[in-house]
């Protein structure tokens, strides 16, 4: 069976559950992912990595359905077809440290069934240029800084111009400039791939994701646009000169005033326009309160 | 193809003909056939005017891409003497590179294997030469000269082969394990490429050690079948249990009978007549299991 690569919902997940012993990592998750970038937000242990590893076919659910471009990962041949269209950056990517940068990418290209040496070299050159590491091909991986290793991790995911790009915390370890370059890189991916970007950085989501999914305790807590997530906190974010003990979360802002997130405060407070992060924090608090 | 000159020839030039502008632009774009390319290149060696003219036609972006590709190719050089030898045997380049990522084919691993075998062999030689009776005293084994001191080698040899194969698929030893699982390359194929190459890499020093061991002349051959059987048990077990459990089970399947024979009878029996037949049977059954459950072998990587 060949899947339709231009389904309205390219990735569909229904009733997905996964347990690790007594821990319920995913609890009847339903979500659809369209082409374009979807940000996946959630605290540690929310089930993001489990969901992404199932989508990337490296893990199997206990129950539920997964459809990627109309293909079923439980079927062996369809699973291979999904993998042919996949670029995957796991949360903790290890390296063969004795490899050079180019040799590592070459190795991953072979894993992706690019056997012709010239074509592999073209792909390696392309992704190295994409992450700004053209001059690093001969460098041993063990000599790279953390930021460059993360760039290399992103580069390997781009090999073969995948139609489904699953990135588990790709901006971890990147400095501000590198994060901006990463946003630019992701926004310019050819072929309009499905990109799933798991992150703790709400500003990354606000900057490049037209759609955001929030996971809490193994469930989908929110699906919508970043603006809609921010709107969740409308009227719940205020600024005051003193710390308000009734707020769920408070911190000093750049003007040395207290920014609060919580239930609507009594009159006389400075209500401010909420950000995506405010909406996310409010959702997290609501989950904690349950 | 060659057209009358569009500029004066250099004094040193031996040609009085120059390629036309259309030929030079075609050459720069890679659109000229092979004979035309040779002609232009021969001419360019002696004509600076045409070299300058070619430069004007060069697509800089294409040139930069080609340069990047060449740099990428030179940054992934051939992977060693053994690989070059394998290449001459017809093993494709991409298979060699998959093998290069196998931990048990790395120099440090092979040196460790050689180190262990040196210790075991040395111990056996000392036992033969220094112990009373020159190692010919055999507990309950009259008529089997020189076999008692083989026990450490019999224990270690097949286990070293197993360790080499285990290193080819144990997630803890493959830093890019998750990438390999998520890749479209056949998990079975990858597993077999790595395991067989690791097995060969491990068996060579084991067999070499068996040659210099103070045992019977058939020892190098006798140790092969049990080693293959133990590795096959591990691969067959992978279709049912996780990698670590599979390795432990295979190791136990070798150590337990050896220790039992050591305590009750004579350890070298494990590689003699009945032991060889049993090893052959185990090898056949394990290979059958691997073949029949190859789907699970693929899924075995997913655990």
Integer CA distances (angstroms), A59 to A49, A73, A77, A156, in order: 10, 10, 16, 20
By the CB < 8 Å criterion, does A96 face chain B? yes
* Cα–Cα dist B86/B246, whole Å: 30
Chain A nearest-CA distance from B102, in A, is 10
Which of A57, A94, A168 should we substitute to test contact with B (largest number of B Cβ atoms within 10 Å)? A94
Residue closest to A152 by CA, chosen among A117, A103, A210, A191: A103
Per-residue three-class SS string for chain B: CEEECCCCCCCCCCCCEEECHHHHHHHHCCCCCHHHHHHHHHHHCCCHHHHHHHHHHCCHHHHHHHHHHHHHHHCCCCCCHHHHHHHHCCCCHHHHHHHHCCHHHCHHHHHHHHHHHHHHHHHHHHHHHHCCCCCCCCCCCCCCCCCHHHHHHHHHHHHHHHHHHHHHHCHHHCCCHHHHHHCCCCHHHHHHHHHHHHHHHHHHHHHHHHHHCCCCCCHHHHCHHHHHHHHHHHHHHCCCCCHHHHHHHHHHHHHHHHHHHHHHCCHHHHHCHHHHHHHHHHHHHHHHHHHHCHHHHHHHCCC
Q: In B, which residues are within 8 Å of A94 by CB distance?
A: 174-177
* Cα–Cα dist A179/A162, whole Å: 21
* Cα–Cα dist B141/B149, whole Å: 12
Lowest mean pLDDT among B14-28, B161-175, B184-198: B14-28
CB A263 within 8 A of CB A233: no
ipTM, interface predicted TM-score of the complex: 0.80
* Cα–Cα dist A229/A231, whole Å: 5
- Closest by Cβ to B178, choosing from A90, A120, A121: A90
- In the predicted structure, residue A7 carries a pLDDT above the cut 60: no
Integer CA distances (angstroms), B224 to B41, B210, B231, B286, in order: 58, 10, 11, 16
The verdict on a CB contact (< 8 Å) between B72 and A137 is yes
The verdict on a CB contact (< 8 Å) between B76 and A124 is yes
Q: What is the pLDDT of residues B56-87, one digit of tens each?
A: 888 877 777 788 888 877 777 665 666 677 77
The burial class, CB within 10 Å (0-12 / 13-18 / 19+), for B16 is: exposed
The verdict on a CB contact (< 8 Å) between B182 and A86 is yes
The verdict on a CB contact (< 8 Å) between A113 and B184 is yes
User: Look-up: residue for tokens 């709107």?
Assistant: A231
At A216, which helix (H) or strand (E)? strand A211-216
- In the predicted structure, residue A273 carries a pLDDT above the cut 80: yes
- In the predicted structure, residue A164 carries a pLDDT above the cut 70: yes
CB A258 within 8 A of CB A274: no
The verdict on a CB contact (< 8 Å) between B92 and A80 is no
Mean pLDDT of A62-80: 92
Q: What is the pLDDT of residues B87-120, one digit of tens each?
A: 788 888 888 888 877 877 777 888 888 888 888 8
Q: In B, which residues are within 8 Å of A60 by CB distance?
A: 299, 302
Mean pLDDT of B235-249: 89
Share of chain B above pLDDT 90, in %: 8
* Cα–Cα dist B208/B210, whole Å: 5
Task: Give the number of other Cβ atoms within 10 Å of residue B150's Cβ.
Answer: 26
Q: At what angle do helices A101-111 and B93-100 cross, to 10 degrees?
A: 110
With residues binned 3-state (H G I as helix, E B as strand, rest as coil), the percentages for chain A, rounded to 5, are 35, 25, 40
- In the predicted structure, residue A56 carries a pLDDT above the cut 90: yes
User: Look-up: residue for tokens 């369809």?
Assistant: A78
Sheet strand arrangement including A36-41: A86-89, A164-168, A194-199, A36-41, A211-216, A219-224
DSSP per-residue codes, A42-108: --TTSSHHHHHHHHTTSS--SEEEEEETTB-TTSHHHHHHHHHTEEEE-SS----TTSBHHHHHHHH
CA atoms within 13 A on the CB side of B247: 17
Residues 156-195 of A with CB under 8 A from B: 156
Q: What is the pLDDT of residues B164-188, one digit of tens each?
A: 888 888 888 888 888 888 899 888 8
Q: What is the pLDDT of residues A95-109, one digit of tens each?
A: 877 788 999 999 999
* Cα–Cα dist A280/A287, whole Å: 11
By the CB < 8 Å criterion, does A83 face chain B? yes
At A20, which helix (H) or strand (E)? strand A11-20
* Ramachandran class of B143: left when φ > 0, alpha when ψ lies in -120 to 50, beta otherwise: left
By the CB < 8 Å criterion, does A103 face chain B? yes
Q: In B, which residues are within 8 Å of A59 by CB distance?
A: 302
Backbone angles phi, psi at B95, to 5 degrees: -70, -40
Name the closest residue on chain B to residue A91, using Cα atoms: B178
Which of A121, A134, A149, A155 should we substitute to test contact with B (largest number of B Cβ atoms within 10 Å)? A121
* Cα–Cα dist B239/B254, whole Å: 19
Per the prediction, chain B carries an average pLDDT of 79
């Amino acid at each position: 069976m060949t899947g339709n690569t231009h389904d309205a919902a390219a990735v569909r997940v229904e009733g997905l559950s996964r347990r690790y012993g007594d821990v319920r990592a995913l609890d009847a998750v339903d979500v659809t992912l369209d082409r374009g970038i979807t940000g996946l937000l959630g605290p540690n242990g929310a089930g993001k990595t489990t969901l992404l590893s199932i989508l990337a076919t490296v893990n199997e659910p206990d129950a539920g359905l997964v459809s990627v471009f109309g293909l079923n990962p439980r079927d062996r041949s369809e699973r291979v077809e999904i993998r042919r269209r996949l670029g995957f950056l796991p949360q903790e990517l290890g390296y063969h440290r004795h490899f050079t940068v180019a040799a590592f990418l070459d190795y991953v290209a072979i894993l992706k069934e690019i056997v012709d040496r010239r074509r592999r070299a073209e792909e390696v050159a392309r992704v190295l240029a994409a992450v700004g590491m053209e001059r690093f091909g001969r460098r041993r991986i063990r000599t790279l800084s953390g930021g460059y290793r993360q760039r290399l991790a992103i580069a390997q995911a781009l090999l073969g111009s995948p139609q489904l790009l699953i990135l588990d915390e790709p901006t971890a370890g990147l400095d501000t400039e590198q994060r901006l370059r990463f946003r630019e890189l992701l926004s310019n991916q050819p072929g309009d791939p499905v990109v799933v970007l798991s992150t703790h950085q709400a500003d990354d989501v606000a900057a490049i994701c037209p759609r955001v999914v929030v996971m809490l305790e193994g469930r989908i807590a929110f699906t919508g646009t970043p603006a809609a997530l921010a709107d969740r906190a409308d009227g719940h974010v205020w600024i005051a000169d003193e710390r308000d003990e009734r707020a769920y979360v408070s911190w000093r802002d750049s003007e040395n005033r207290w920014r609060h997130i919580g239930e609507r405060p009594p009159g006389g407070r400075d209500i401010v326009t909420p950000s995506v992060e405010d909406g996310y924090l409010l959702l997290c608090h609501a989950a904690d309160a349950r | 193809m060659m057209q009358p000159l569009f500029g004066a020839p250099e004094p040193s030039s031996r040609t009085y003909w120059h390629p036309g502008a259309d030929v030079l632009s075609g050459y720069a774009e890679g659109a000229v056939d092979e004979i035309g390319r040779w002609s232009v290149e021969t001419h360019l060696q002696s004509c600076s005017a045409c070299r300058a003219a070619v430069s004007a036609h060069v697509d800089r972006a294409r040139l930069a891409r080609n340069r990047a590709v060449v740099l990428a190719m030179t940054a992934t050089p051939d992977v060693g003497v053994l690989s070059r030898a394998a290449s001459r045997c017809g093993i494709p380049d991409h298979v060699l590179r998959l093998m290069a990522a196998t931990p048990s084919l790395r120099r440090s691993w092979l040196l460790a294997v050689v180190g262990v075998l040196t210790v075991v062999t040395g111990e056996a030689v000392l036992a033969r030469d220094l112990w009373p009776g020159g190692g010919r005293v055999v507990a309950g084994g009259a008529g089997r000269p020189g076999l008692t001191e083989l026990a450490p080698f019999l224990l270690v040899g097949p286990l070293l082969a197993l360790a080499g194969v285990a290193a080819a698929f144990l997630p803890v030893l493959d830093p890019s394990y998750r990438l390999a699982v998520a890749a479209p390359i056949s998990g079975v194929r990858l597993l077999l490429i790595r395991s067989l190459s690791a097995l060969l890499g491990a068996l060579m020093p084991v067999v070499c050690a068996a040659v210099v061991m103070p045992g019977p002349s058939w020892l190098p051959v006798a140790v092969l079948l049990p080693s293959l059987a133990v590795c096959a048990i591990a691969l067959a077990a992978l279709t049912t249990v996780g990698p670590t459990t599979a390795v432990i089970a295979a190791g136990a399947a070798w150590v337990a009978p050896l220790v039992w024979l050591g305590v009750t009878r004579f350890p070298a029996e494990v590689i003699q007549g009945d032991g060889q037949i049993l090893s052959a049977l185990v090898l056949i059954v394990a290979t059958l299991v691997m073949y029949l459950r190859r789907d699970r072998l693929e899924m075995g990587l997913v655990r």
